[in-house]
Amino acid sequence: MAFTCDVCGFRSSELKAGGGVSAKGRRITLRLEDADDLNRDILKSDTAGVEIPELDLNVTHGTLGGVFTTVEGLLRKILEQLSEKMGYLRGDSATPEVRERFEALLARLSALSCPETFEPFDLVLDDPLANSFIQNYYAPDPDPAMLVEDYARSIDIDEELGLAFMCTEDYGEIEEQAAAAATAEAEASA
């Protein structure tokens, strides 16, 4: 869904996934070796987290919403969100050490997102609902720079997503069994 406000200029192109819930989560690790890799398309769902180990940066699940962009666009969105939402780490309430570390993080992230100052790094997209995607330049063959791992979600993640106690299979039969049990109980008490 895309939205632009004619009054203030606010823009949003947040994506929402549709369809069934995957039985497993998916972690995609992409090794970006050159600046051309910044042009890969990326679909980050609203449940996906992003990690860049070289920066010790972990953007938790749901933080950026769902977005379809390039790797460069995703990095710039992270940079923009950090700059806007974490401004207190630049202010007088932060210690000089914290301010210095935060500014260094922003500078490194900015350098990684720019083709002129690019240096190789890993990008990890971890989506517990497996609704995210990074473009494979070698499709239909496996991409040598990409590792795709499916994993079983933890109970904690299932609870966070509202899936822990949700009946997703045979729910028609369960409803019929519950109705039959209620009918039998009503007849027995009558």
Q: Residue 35 has what pLDDT? A: 94
Is 127 a residue whose pLDDT tops 80?
Answer: yes
Q: Residue 138 has what pLDDT? A: 93
Q: What pLDDT band is residue 90 in, cutting at 50, 70 and 90?
A: low
Q: What is the mean pLDDT of residues 32-50?
A: 94
Q: Write down the pTM of the prediction.
A: 0.75
Q: Residue 172 has what pLDDT? A: 61
- φ/ψ (deg, to 5) at 79: -60, -45
Residues 66, 11, 73: CA angle, nearest 5 degrees: 55
Please enumerate in sequence order all residues whose Cβ is within 8 A of that of 36, keeping only pairs 6 or more positions apart, or say none: none
% residues pLDDT > 90 (the chain)? 50
Is 64 a residue whose pLDDT tops 90?
Answer: no
Angle between helices 71-85 and 96-112 (to 10 degrees): 160
Q: Residue 158 has what pLDDT? A: 82
Is 56 a residue whose pLDDT tops 90?
Answer: yes
Q: What is the mean pLDDT of residues 148-165?
A: 87
